[in-house]
Each structure stands twice: as structure tokens, then as C-alpha cells.
Structure 1
Amino acid sequence: MTPRHHPGGAGDQQVVGAAGVPARSAGAAPHAARSLPRSRGSSSPEGEAPARRPHPAQQVTEQLAARTREILERPRPEESEEQRAREKAVVHECRYLMRLLSTRRRSEGEMRGRLAEREVPADVAHEAMARIARAGLIDDAAFARDWVQQRRSLRALGDEALRRELEARRVDAELIEAALSEGQSDEEQRCRELVRSRIDHRDRERLREERDGSHRRRLSRRLDALLTRKGYPGDLAVHVIAGELRAAVEDPAA
């Protein structure tokens, strides 16, 4: 089935269409497809800002278009009406998955879950996922590594919280453990830095001045609740909190 050409479609019709790349029309000039000659000199004129790098979402979309054109465009010379309807549904779901991938990397289980939420028929969902997989756009190992790195950096999460988040996104247990161990920074050090950041100068003054230990107990409970939410082990939390509260009282420079 030959897809219709929609001007201004930014390549989308070619990415997920059911037919091959459209041939040049009969009336097109032979030289029409030639690229314009490049101007002499590759550097920008003095004083001009360098060309802006494309937005990450645009890069993902362009990459997906380039890598899926041959996979998703398959000539179907004698399709029945039912086959055409199914192909249209598959193309529709491929486009939906592409929109998801244009915002951030997704796990295979996460994308399958989104299709299930949309109540996509099983055969259509399977084919859409197969096409995305053949394009090399599903990589749960890379997804898990990126997730761990970003969440450690931005949210200071402990390994248990990261494990729960990846399990919720249906990543395989072996891939989760590999991501947690790969390039792993010291969990205790991250825990200490988090606790230290939550003890301000007023807390330190009250800890040094109090006699009954009431503020120390309140602050300890607050910090313990924080570390629990962040996914740090209980024994590590107790050890780090005790050490940092002691340092807040004893270290004059704190």
C-alpha cells in the first residue's frame, strides 16, 4: 500500500508508514534532489554565535526517524481491508510510543504498560513493540543506568528507593542490581551529605545549648524519617545520624 504524501510532515509519514520510501515523481527535474553548494569556509563569521545544538527531544525524534524508516516501511501490495485497518492501528501506536520516547528513555515494561492502559489489542501492541525494538530503541540496561545516576544526583536516593522505582517500571532484577553496582558511589557518604545538609546553624546552636536532649531527639526522628523515605537502610541511618549530630555539637567549624 503506497502512503499518501503529506507536505510538512517532518518525515513522520515515512517513519511509520506501511509502504517503502516513495520514488521521485515522474515530473521531477533530475537535478531537483541535488543539495545546494556549500559556501566556502566552514567556520562562522567573526562575531556570530555558533549554531545552537538541537533540543534532546528533537534529537531523539530524528534518530528514531532515521533508524526506523526501513523497518516500519514495508510494501504490502495486496492487503485486505482488515490488514489495512490493523496496519493503521500499529502505525498509530508506534507514533504514540515515539512521542513517549521523545521526552525521556523508557523501559520496555513501562511502554507495554502504557499500551495496556490504552487497551490496545494484544496483537497490535506486540507488533508496535516489536518494531520499536527492531529499531534499537529499547535498552533496559541503559535505562536503568541512567535512572540510577540521575536519581542519585538529583534526589540523593538510597539504593533501596532506586530499586523500588525500577521495579515499578518493570525492569528485570538482574539489570537493576547491575545498575546499582556499576559506578556506585559510596552510599554511606551520600547519606552523610544528605543528613549534613538538613542540619542548619540553628539546629547546631540548640544542640550545643540544650541540657535535656529534647531537640536532639526531635531532630533525630526527623532525619530518620527522611532517610527512610530516601531508601537508606535503617542501620546505616542510625549510624550516620548519631555521628552527624555528635559532630554538630563537637566541631566548632560546623
Structure 2
Amino acid sequence: MKKPAPELEPDANPASVARSIVLRQLTNSPKSRHQLAQKLAERNVPADVAESVLDRFVEIELIDDAEFAQLWVRSRAQNRSLARGALKRELAEKGIAPELAEEALAQISDEDERDSAAELVRRKLRGSMNLADRAERDKYTRRWVAMLARKGYNPSAAFAVVGSLIDEQLESETPQ
């Protein structure tokens, strides 16, 4: 069970408490303004104080949602192989404005996304799989397309990537 957020000390300056919370949060990793506002609300910082503290942090560029979105997309696309669909959802959850999200997502091309999907499926391909067997091929197609869907890839692109990799695998196994 989650313990309740601590109340602000009655004699504590809410602005300095808010500043220290924001600084502590930003020390761990970049955060969006929305995430920081949520953290301040959890700690019972008055909304007007939180707003002014966050405005000041934006002003001095310690909070920058556009830069956060760019970093988030780059990192999650490289490290987690997420597609634009999943990244767009994550950015929305973090309170990033749709136009900033679109700018950040523009750094991933269709070709990058296709290459990433193909790499994910290649890691799953094994020589011991009998993809010439229709039932076996269908089973792995379903698994791999589902894996790609969980990572935000669009179904038609996922089926195309999986199909072409299975075809490549079958061609490489066929004696010349």
C-alpha cells in the first residue's frame, strides 16, 4: 500500500520546498513539466506556488519539454526499439504537447522504423525453426507480429517485415 504524501511543514516555505523537489527530480533524469507538476501535487505543494516555480524553471531552461521529447524519442527508439506509435503514447502520458511530440517523432524515418522491426525479428530467428512447415511459420508469424505490435509497430508494416524475413530465411535454407 502506498503511504500518503507528506504534508508540507507548517512553517516551511512552499516555494523553496517546490524548488528542492524539482531539482531533486531533475537530478535523476530529465522530466517533462507535466511530470514535475504531478510530483509537486503529490507532495501537496499549492498549485499557484507549483505553477510559479515551474514557470521559473522553464524560463531558465532547466525544464524544456521540446528537448525532453527529442531525448526521450531518441533514447527509447534506440534502447527499446519502440515504434512511433508507442513513443507517441508515452509522450502523451508525460504531458508533451502533440506538436512537440510530432517534431520529436520526425527524427525517426519509415526506413529506421522498418530496420528496427527487422532487427527485433532477426534476433528471434533460429536455425532450428522449421519455417517451411506452414503451421510452424504461422505460429512464429503471429508471435513476431504480436511482439512488434506491443512495441507500437503498425500491423501491416509488422506483417510485411515478418513475411520478408521469413522469405529470406526460407531462401537461405533452400539448397541451390
Flag whether TM exceeds 0.5 (same fold).
Answer: yes
C-alpha distance in 1, partners of 2:35/2:25? 10
Unaligned stretches of 5+ in structure 2?
A: 1-9
Provide the residue aligned with 2:39 in structure 1.
114
Specify which structure has the bigger relative contact order, considering alpha-carbon pairs within 8 angstroms and separated by 6 or more residues. Answer: 2
Secondary structure, in 3 states, of the residue corresponding to 1:207?
coil
Superposed displacement of residue 200, structure 1: 1.8
| 2:57 alignment partner AA | I
Between 191-200 and 93-102, report the one with greater CA deviation: 191-200
Q: TM-score, normalised by structure 1?
A: 0.61
Residue 173, structure 1, aligned to residue 94, structure 2: no
Question: Which of 11, 15, 25 in structure 2 is aligned with 1:90?
Answer: 15
Q: Is the 8 A contact 2:32 2:96 kept in 1?
A: yes
Superposed displacement of residue 230, structure 1: 0.3
| 1:143 alignment partner AA | F
Provide the residue aligned with 1:189 in structure 2.
115
Superposed displacement of residue 186, structure 1: 2.1
Provide the residue aligned with 2:142 in structure 1.
221
Unaligned stretches of 5+ in structure 1?
A: 1-83
Alignment of 1:155-174 (within 5 A): 155-174=80-99
Q: CA RMSD in A?
A: 1.9
Identity among equivalent positions (%) equals 34
Residue 137, structure 1, aligned to residue 62, structure 2: yes
Superposed displacement of residue 97, structure 1: 0.6
C-alpha distance in 2, partners of 1:242/1:133? 47
Structure number, greater radius of gyration: 1
Residue 207, structure 1, aligned to residue 128, structure 2: no
Q: Which structure has the highest helix share of the two?
A: 2
Alignment of 1:1-254 (within 5 A): 85=11, 88-182=13-107, 184=109, 186-203=112-129, 206-208=130-132, 210=133, 213-252=134-173
C-alpha distance in 2, partners of 1:186/1:134? 34
